[in-house]
Amino acid sequence: MNVYRIAEEDGEKILIYDNEKIKVLIDESSLKKRIKELGSMITSDYKDIVPVLVSVLRGSFIFLADICREIRIPVVFDFMAVSSYGNSKVSSGIVRITKDLEFSIEGREVLIIEDIIDSGRTLNYLVKNLKARNPRNIEICALLDKNVPRKTKNSVKYKGFDIPNKFVVGYGLDYAEKYRNIPFIGYIENEQYL
Ligand code: IMP
Ligand code: MG
């Protein structure tokens, strides 16, 4: 049966699919609570501005949908899609834009909505690319920040959670396009592919 199955193991909720066990790292209520807090911070920081929320497809679509409803000011939405070349497990740092923004961001306040920062290379590239279009300001809102050593640091103004260096799925994040629609952030117990 091609259905996610929820089970319990050692008193903890797990999800089973395709013989893989997904353990909960951040549950639904913790996500909801933190996103509400981030939304309030953004609301008060941007209360006299209409920011452009730039979201990076596809991983951040669920985070965007939830956080935008906690932001109580008018906002403009725009989307980009990027793909990293090379080895799929480790980002190469070479990023290609596969879908660009629809609107000009010149003179605008841009808030990038990202799902996860791993090596930080995707975000670095994006910030550099967007800065060249002369926005008034660019800030970053990222749901997850992985604990990995990085050469270059991005200052993330709105951060959801620091997480350990594990490959996570769910809440928009995938492994080989699977698991995006799991409602929590989890990790695959046997990370045999890493
Ligand atoms: P970075 O360029 O190494 O920071 O990678 C960022 C991108 O890789 C994210 O926007 C995700 O799409 C993807 N990514 C990084 N870590 C994970 C993970 O643990 N699970 C799913 N996708 C990830
Ligand atoms: Mg992404």
Q: What is the pLDDT of residue 194?
A: 45
Whether residue 131 contacts residue 107, with contact meaning beta carbons closer than 8 Å, is answered with no
CA distance 98 to 82: 5
Decide if 46 is inside a domain: yes
Decide if 171 is inside a domain: no
Decide if 111 is inside a domain: yes
Is 121 a pocket residue for ligand 1 (Cβ < 6 Å)?
yes
What distance in angstroms lies between residue 9's CA and the mean position of ligand 2's atoms?
30
pTM for this structure? 0.92
Is 154 a pocket residue for ligand 1 (Cβ < 6 Å)?
no
Tell me the pLDDT tens digit for each residue of 164-183. 999 999 999 999 889 999 99
Name the helix (H) or strand (E) containing 43: helix 28-45
Decide if 11 is inside a domain: no
Q: Does position 95 have pLDDT exceeding 50, yes or no? A: yes
Structure token digits, residue 150: 């990085």
Q: What is the secondary structure of 142-172 as a DSSP string?
A: EEEEE----SS----SEEEEEE-S--EEBTT
Tell me the pLDDT tens digit for each residue of 46-63. 999 999 999 999 999 999
Tell me the pLDDT tens digit for each residue of 66-94. 999 999 999 999 999 988 765 555 566 67
Give the model's confidence band at 189: pLDDT under 50 very low, under 70 low, under 90 confident, else very high. Answer: confident
Amino acid at the residue 180: R
- Which positions are annotated as active-site residues? 118
Is 116 a pocket residue for ligand 1 (Cβ < 6 Å)?
yes
Give the residue, 85 or 15, on which the prediction is more confident.
Answer: 15
Q: What is the pLDDT of residue 94?
A: 76
Q: How far is CA 171 from CA 20, 24, 106, 126, in A?
A: 17, 11, 31, 22
CA distance 24 to 22: 7
Q: Which domain range does residue 101 map to? A: 28-165
What distance in angstroms lies between residue 118's CA and the mean position of ligand 1's atoms?
5
Task: Pick the residue whose CA is nearest to atom 3 on ligand 1.
Answer: 119
Decide if 185 is inside a domain: no
Is 145 a pocket residue for ligand 1 (Cβ < 6 Å)?
no
**Which residue, among 98, 22, 112, 123, has the nearest Cα to 63 in the 3D structure?**
112
Length of the chain: 194
Amino acid at the residue 35: I
What distance in angstroms lies between residue 112's CA and the mean position of ligand 2's atoms?
11
Decide if 138 is inside a domain: yes
Q: What is the pLDDT of residue 86?
A: 54
* Domain CATH for 41: 3.40.50.2020
Domain count of the fold of the chain: 1
Q: Determine which of 2-6, 40-44, 97-101 has the lowest per-residue pLDDT on average.
A: 2-6
Decide if 15 is inside a domain: no
If one residue of 22, 122, 123 were mutated to test the ligand 1 pocket, choosing by the most ligand atoms within 8 A of its CB, it would be 122
Decide if 20 is inside a domain: no
What distance in angstroms lies between residue 84's CA and the mean position of ligand 2's atoms?
10
CA distance 41 to 8: 36
Do strands 76-84 and 52-57 pair parallel, antiparallel, or not at all (unpaired)?
Answer: parallel
Task: Pick the residue whose CA is nearest to atom 20 on ligand 1.
Answer: 168
Neighbours of 112 (CB within 10 A): 24
Q: What is the pLDDT of residue 104?
A: 97
Q: What is the pLDDT of residue 163?
A: 97
Tell me the pLDDT tens digit for each residue of 106-154. 999 999 999 999 989 889 999 999 999 999 999 999 999 999 888 767 7
